[in-house]
């Protein structure tokens, strides 16, 4: 991935690995918050904010799932970039299926929005981006923080009464999101982008140890935090749904597939079948992006054909205590 340095696009400035061959993810740049507070600079309002996303990116996918579960489609608009990212970065190609134009400014590359927000910015140009149409700037480009804002600050504007960060669960939700980030969410990248055997082996050990742990946890409960669907499940879902098609092969995470786990696999199907979630999954964008955008990993950019997981297959997760929020159950019944 290339980067902006002092507002200029550079193709030679971003390194993903340290001296020992291990993958290092850089911090995001824009970290302001939307808060339901009269003194806040960025306050929740209907139609004020816009999301820039890629269907291919698991971090952006978190925000799309949250937006769908909360029923914020009318309140927060979206633009979708092309899954293929070349040396000029994320691009808008509205002629391509599932992609859109930039609905706010009409630019052709996402990096131009970063420069609009800060002409002297030094930053990786990543998705998701939460844009303030009133102030004409980026509020935030950190997926976990955008997910939390959409979940907790826009209740007045959502069409569904869904709370993904409920009182009584918050400490556990934060603990789980922290605990799955390094070995699982980032772990697949640590494996895929390692350039030496030892860091790859360490990443694989961490990844599959963590997957085994959560497979055991889910033997006794429906969701990661117990009997409630929460942000923690969204953070896990966007990695798991990509695993068999991309990470298993492309990132050499091939010890097991998610379909090999007796509890993680039905758990994944349960989440996929939760109303609103399936519509956020574009496996065509996911596979095109990963197999064509990392020439260091896949120099010929050949897109692997399979597999074809049956995400719609029945599951038995409703035998455990708990259920999706009532508004989601009503949507399922409809």
Residue numbers belonging to the annotated binding site for glutathione: 90, 124-127, 142-143
Give the annotated binding-site residues: 90, 124-127, 142-143
Measuring CA to CA, which residue among 215, 217, 218, 316 is closest to residue 261? 215
Most distant CA pair in the chain: distance in Å? 55
Catalytic residue among 55, 57, 247, 290: 57
SS3 61: helix
Q: Which residue in 52, 114, 169, 189 is the catalytic one? A: 189
In three-state secondary structure terms, 3 is strand
| Beta pairing partners, 23 | 17
How many residues are there in the chain? 334
Active site residue 189: yes
Other Cβ atoms less than 10 A from the Cβ of 135: the count is 13
Residue 303: both structure tokens together: 């897109």
99 is catalytic: no
Taking the mean position of all CA atoms in its chain, how far away is CA 145?
12
Taking the mean position of all CA atoms in its chain, how far away is CA 168? Answer: 25
CA distance 291 to 29: 27
Cα–Cα distance for residue pair 253/240, rounded to 1 Å = 12
Instruction: Name the residue among 151, 197, 173, 188 with its Cα closest to residue 57.
Output: 188
Say if residues 278 and 328 touch (Cβ distance below 8 Å): no
Residue 67: phi and psi, rounded to 5, are -60, -40
- 45: which 2 tokens? 């309002």
Active site residues: 57, 189
């Amino acid at each position: 991935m290339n980067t902006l340095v002092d507002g200029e696009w550079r193709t030679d400035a971003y390194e993903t690995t340290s001296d020992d061959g291990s993958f290092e993810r850089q911090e995001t740049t824009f970290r302001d918050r939307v808060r339901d507070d009269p003194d806040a600079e960025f306050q929740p309002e209907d139609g004020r904010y816009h999301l820039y996303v890629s269907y291919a990116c698991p971090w952006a996918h978190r925000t799309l799932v949250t937006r769908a579960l909360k029923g914020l489609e009318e309140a927060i608009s979206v633009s979708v970039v092309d899954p293929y990212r070349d040396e000029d970065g994320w691009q808008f190609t509205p002629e391509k299926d599932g992609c859109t134009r930039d609905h706010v400014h009409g630019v052709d590359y996402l990096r131009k929005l970063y420069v609009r927000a800060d002409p002297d910015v030094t930053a990786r140009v990543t998705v998701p981006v939460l844009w303030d149409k009133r102030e004409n700037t980026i509020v935030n480009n950190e997926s976990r923080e955008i997910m939390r804002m959409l979940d907790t600050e826009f209740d007045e504007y959502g069409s569904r009464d869904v709370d993904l960060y409920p009182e009584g669960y918050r400490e556990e939700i934060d603990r789980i999101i922290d605990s799955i980030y390094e070995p699982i969410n980032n772990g697949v990248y640590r494996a895929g982008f390692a350039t030496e055997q030892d860091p790859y082996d360490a990443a694989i050990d961490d990844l599959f140890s963590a997957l085994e742990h959560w497979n055991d946890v889910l033997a006794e409960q429906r969701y990661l935090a117990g009997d409630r669907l929460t942000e923690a499940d969204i953070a896990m879902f966007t990695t798991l749904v990509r695993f068999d098609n991309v990470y298993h092969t492309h990132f050499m995470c091939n010890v097991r597939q998610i379909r090999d786990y007796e509890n993680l696999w039905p758990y994944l199907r349960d989440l996929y079948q939760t109303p609103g979630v399936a519509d956020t999954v574009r496996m065509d964008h996911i596979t095109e992006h990963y197999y064509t955008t990392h020439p260091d990993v896949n120099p010929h950019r050949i897109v692997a054909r399979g597999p074809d997981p049956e995400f719609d297959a029945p599951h038995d997760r409703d035998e455990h205590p708990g259920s999706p929020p009532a508004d989601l159950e009503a949507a399922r019944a409809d």
